Structure 1
Amino acid sequence: MLFNLLVNIQSSDQPGAIKVNVPLVAFTASLAYLAIKVAGSYCSQNWLTSLDIPTVALKTGATTHDQEYRQDPQAFMLKCEREYGPVYNVYLMNQLLTIVSGPDLAREFYLNKDLSFADALDKITGMRTYIYSLTKSNQVVDNMVIHWLVRDFVTPKVHLFMPSVVRNMEEQLDSQLEHCDRKLIKEPIRIIEKIVGSAMACVFMGEEIGRQPQVIDTFVRCAPDFATAIGHGTKDFWRLLYLKFKYAYTSPMTKHIKVLVDAATPVILRRRKEEAEQGAAYVRPHDVLQGMLDNFDKYNFVDIEDVCGHLLLLVLASVNNASDFGANMLYYLAQYHEHTDKLREEIQEVLSEEAREIEDLAIKDGNTADAPKIIKPSDALTANALKKMVHLDSFVREALRYRSEMHSFTHLARKDLTLSNGFRIPKGRLVAINLRSTHMEEALQGPDPMEFRPWRFVGKGKSASKVGTDFLQFGMGKRACPGRFIATHDLKALVCLMLSRFSKIEMEDPSKADAALHARQHAPTVTGLLFTSHH
């Protein structure tokens, strides 16, 4: 997903051809040869092309397949599969990519330890030096600290985070979309960024820190700033060399780290003081920041700046993608509005039941003062309630499946590889999965996989967070995104709040519905949305 952020932000109009700057006079032949070899230009890529893997023919006059792919991604990928088989090479997004197709190769792809997502990102963007500039520790190639932080301090506590998540989402909605009468929002993503950013700021840093406006702004702005600094994934050796040199000494993210440090320092000092005074009676906050402080030595953190640098990496890996998914989900609610009544009925029924259970439990425990606090359905929007909303879960999973980029999850081969079907992938090659061959196949998805069927997964035991070869939106196996649980909870909570507030969500330009539904992650908005509140 982070690959899509780096490559796709503001890139829809970028030319597809790879650009390699070749010095004409100033360098010796040996240096020029080294530059071309390291840069991975088209020429060097062709030298590496294995004879076993066919390369899709280019149209007359074309230097890449980008235009053909963008015209109809599904048709292009299907054509390639039929004409060239399950493994083939294409020139897409300024890169030579080897595409692997089908569930068996997808499983093989994710289980192969010699295919590296991080190496692919670094080759395309030169981002590793940049990432290292954010932190003072854990600067190793296969660093897993961010993965562990989510696994240990986010996923097990999703049920604890949801009240805060819902509360912050509600406040942002009330402040930005109150009493709408076909109110036009040209770029819904901007509102969703604030909603998701404010919610995740409290998850990561606690409400006292996370509710501060400057912290929310950093959570919203750091990902676009990051993408701007890294660029559009243009494969230019000299530019990458310049970025690596530049970010070895300075980082445009320093301002964001300072915001987090300034906001967190007094709160951390107070927490330490309270812990010292209260001893065993001290109630530890359950935010991610506290987990990082409690395990400071375990994760080799150096100081609070280092902790906040790692928090920014968490933000980069989560908030922008969650915002993109959330905004895109609104277009599905608009396009398939005939199904929203069923969703509203389920939401109302489950929330009413959850509210009664909470009230009954409070009375049973003798805590009658808590019972009157359930004054509106959203107060009962808990993780337990979301689990009961099976139609909502199916709607979300189907939207994620239906929207899928047809090739994704680019990795780099760290050594020469031979696939189980005999195809050889050379060291240094970028490899991506053909999601059309899994997300759009009837054998894996059931009848009419090319159609959006919102209840496709009801009763199938396939939740929106469950990964497998038939659903690769969050990866698979040990490489599956550990943040998918909080992400899908946030998505479902957002849909609940939207449907409870708005009787209708419409596209400004219905003729652009297909482009909006299948928009690449982080691509520019193709049409606005009209919001009408319940009366």
Structure 2
Amino acid sequence: MLAFLSNPPGLAAFDALKIVIPIGIGLASAAYLTMKVVTGDGFGSDKSIPIASLRAGDSTHDKEFDEDQDAFVERCQAENGDVFGVYLMNLNQIVVSGDLVQEIFMNEDFNAGDSADQLTNMRSFLRPMTKAQVEFDSGTIHGLVRDNITPHLPQYTARIVLQLERNLDIEMAKYRTTNKREDGTFLVEKPATVLHQMVATATDFGKVLGSGEAQSYSVWKSFVHRAEYSVSSPVQKHIRILAEAATLVILERRRLEKETEAKGEVYERPDDIMQKMLDSFDKHHFVDLEDVCGYLMILILASVHTTTDTSTNLMFYLAAYPQYIETLYEEQKEVLDQIQKEREAHRQELLAKGQPIGDDLDPSEDRFLSAAAIKRMVHMDSFVREVFRYRTECLALGHRARKDIILSNGMAISKGVTAIINMKSAHQSPN
């Protein structure tokens, strides 16, 4: 590079700069990455936490973990106790098991967002989606879910089920023709892909954050993604489309509200998440409609992956235990039959009294899989809870320490180190 600077043969000064600048950037990047690797987070200064031994020939624990997660964690726990260090996904991580798991969840100095961001560059991706630019640990997302989604899930359940049924018919139609077998059945090679498509159509989220596959921390990938997302977010176009569509809906709602109030009547506000977010505009410090839509897209991002992940596990467990399918199906029929009878009896009672039958007793909704109906399905509830308990990940839900932390057993987890949860010890312990 010095030769180019001193006497670039046959090149004008500007041409020389065109060569020098990329080389300089490349060297600077290499120096930065080297520094990050050399000074990267280790297991911390405290030596009280044992490090799991490596198999002969292995330089990390990844291969042994991938071959048999349960066997790997059981071996490490038997040799080292409830807390031990592992080298997985290009990261030094502290596995926490048993009663100590609660300490990770309850201590605010352990942060799950920091851990997820380290692997996925999540915050760099999400931050350009909102205009308020609040920190994602400020509680805005948590507040939106707590105030606008969780309390109203019973109202949304039937709508979600109907939409999923429609989408399932669309997706299955593709396989009935292309993957049909001689016995009349048809093959779906990747159910997670089908479920993902059902839950959310045409988003860039899967490409950015992965489709449920394990990811590894990479200094270079993190550096590139953060630089890329600071310039442009791949979901900006979706936010603009959503805002344009929402504008028309909001204008129509305002028109109806004025029209209703002009008649001296009370306007019945629409029962959906967007309306609830608009009604709490000032509370959550939204800037404008695009900001609201940005947060809506973040909520969609979270729901797409959690719903797809859970649904895929349920499908595989149904396939693994087909003897339960008939029981679950018959229970649904019995519950819906009973609800249909109760609703019909209520309608007849109102008719006998000469009272009007409201929309809430529409006969076409008698067999909806509502939240109230699902609550009566004891077998279904048990099956779903068991799938949650026996989900496939043995180590998950990493939390990164924001300062040096001493656990109740006296072991220290240093600032910057990730504590990852031994899910089996939490969900399948006989205690």
TM-score by length of 2: 0.83
Report deviation, 1:44.
Answer: 4.1
- Give me the whole-angstrom Cα distance separating, in 2, the residues matched to 1:332 and 1:400: 11
Give the 3-state SS of the residue equivalent to 2:156 in structure 1. Answer: helix
State the distance in 1 between where 2:322 and 2:249 align.
45
User: Which of 292, 300, 306 is matched with 2:291 structurally?
Assistant: 306
The residue correspondences of 1:249-260 to structure 2 (distance < 5 A) are 249-260=231-242
SS of the aligned residue for 2:129 comes to coil
Change in CA separation of 1:133 and 1:239 when aligned onto 2, cut-off 3 Å: same
- C-alpha distance in structure 2 between counterparts of 1:312 and 1:115, whole Å: 26
Mapping 1:4-153, distance limit 5 Å: 26=27, 32=31, 39=36, 41=37, 44-46=40-42, 48-102=44-98, 104-153=99-148
Question: Which residue number corresponds to residue 251 of structure 2?
Answer: 269
Amino acid in structure 1 at the alignment position of 2:288:
D
Q: Counterparts in 2 of 1:358-437, with a 5 A limit?
A: 358-365=343-350, 366-367=355-356, 374=363, 379-437=367-425
> What does the per-residue CA deviation read over 1:354-405, in whole Å, with 9 as the maximum and x for residues that have no partner?
111222223333345879953687x332111100101111011111211241
1:307 Cα deviation (Å)?
A: 0.9
The one-letter code of the counterpart of 1:258 is R
From the superposition, tell whether residues 327 and 233 of structure 1 become closer, same or farther in structure 2 (CA, over 3 Å): closer
* Cα distance in 2 between the residues matched to 1:43 and 1:61: 26
Give the SS at the match of 1:108: helix
The one-letter code matched in structure 2 to 1:160 is Q
Please tell me whether the aligned partners of residues 106 and 433 of structure 1 are also in contact (alpha carbons under 8 angstroms).
yes
Question: Number of matched residues?
Answer: 391
Deviation, structure 1 residue 264: 1.5
Q: Which moved more, 1:179-188 or 1:162-171?
A: 179-188
Asked if 1 retains the 8 angstrom alpha-carbon contact of 2:204 and 2:234, the reply is no
Shift of 1:42: 7.1
Give the whole-Å Cα distance in 2 for the aligned partners of 1:372 and 1:46.
61
In 2 relative to 1, CA 321–42 (structure 1 residues): closer, same or farther, beyond 3 Å? Answer: farther
Cα deviations across residues 122-165 of structure 1 (Å, max 9, x unaligned)? 23333322211111114215131121111111111122112312
Task: Note the C-alpha offset of 1:315.
Answer: 0.9
1:425-464 to structure 2, matched below 5 A, reads: 425-443=413-431
Offset at residue 76 of structure 1 (A)? 0.8
Q: What is the Cα deviation at residue 35 of structure 1?
A: 5.1
The one-character-per-residue Cα deviations of 1:328-371 (angstroms, maximum 9, x if unpaired) are 31222122111112112211111111111222223333345879
Instruction: Look at both structures and tell me which one has the larger radius of gyration over its CA atoms.
Output: 2
- 1:152 aligned counterpart, secondary structure: helix
Q: After TM superposition, give the deviation of residue 433 of structure 1 in Å.
A: 0.7
Q: CA deviation at 1:276?
A: 2.4
Q: 1:339 to 1:120 in 2, by over 3 A?
A: same
**1:401/1:361 CA distance change after superposition, 3 Å:** same
Structure 2: which amino acid aligns with 1:433? I
The answer as to whether partners of 2:43 and 2:85 remain within 8 angstroms in 1 is: no
Mark the CA change 1:88 to 1:306 in structure 2 (over 3 Å): closer, same or farther: same
Taking the TM superposition and a 5 Å limit, the aligned residue runs for 1:135-534 are 135-177=130-172, 181-197=184-200, 217-218=201-202, 221-227=203-209, 233-279=215-261, 281-365=266-350, 366-367=355-356, 374=363, 379-443=367-431
Given the superposition, is the C-alpha separation of residues 442 and 187 from structure 1 closer, same or farther in structure 2, using an over 3 Å criterion? same
Contact 1:54 1:89 in 2 (8 A): yes
Aligned residues with identical type, % of pairs: 37
The aligned amino acid for 1:195 is M
Q: Is the 8 A contact 1:413 1:426 kept in 2?
A: yes
Contact 1:138/1:300, CA 8 A, preserved across alignment: no
Report the alpha carbon displacement of residue 299 of structure 1 after superposing the two structures with TM.
Answer: 0.9
Letter in structure 1 aligned against 2:384: V
* CA contact 1:374–1:380 (8 Å) conserved in 2: no
Distance 2:45 2:58 in 1: 19
Q: Alpha-carbon deviations, 1:104-125, whole Å to 9, x = none?
A: 2111111101001111122333
| Alignment check: 8 A CA contact 1:35 1:237 kept | yes
AA at the equivalent of 1:259? I
The 1:193–1:361 alpha-carbon spacing in structure 2 relative to 1, beyond 3 Å, is farther
**Do the aligned residues in 2 keep the contact of 1:223 with 1:315 (CA within 8 Å)?**
no
Query: For the residues of structure 2 that align with 1:79 and 1:272, how far apart are their CA atoms?
Result: 63
Q: Secondary structure at the match of 1:106?
A: helix
Tell me by how many angstroms 1:298 deviates.
1.2
**1:127–1:244 CA contact under 8 A, matched in 2:** no
Counterpart residue type for residue 171 of structure 2: Q
Q: CA deviation at 1:432?
A: 0.7
Deviation, 1:46, is 3.9
C-alpha distance 281-376 of structure 1, shift in aligned 2 (>3 A) = closer
Scaled by the length of structure 1, what TM-score is found? 0.68
**Is the CA contact (8 Å cut-off) linking 1:101 and 1:433 kept in structure 2?**
yes
For 1:266, give the aligned amino acid: L
Q: 2:41 touches 2:416 (CA, 8 Å); kept in 1?
A: no
Distance 2:361 2:251 in 1: 36
Aligned-residue offset at 1:83: 0.3
**Could you list the runs of 5+ residues in structure 2 that have no partner in the other structure?**
1-23, 177-183
Compared CA separation, residues 172 and 367, structure 1 to 2 (3 A): farther
SS in 1 for 2:232: coil
One-letter identity of the residue aligned with 2:50: P
Question: What one-letter code is carried by the residue in structure 1 that aligns with 2:231?
Answer: Y
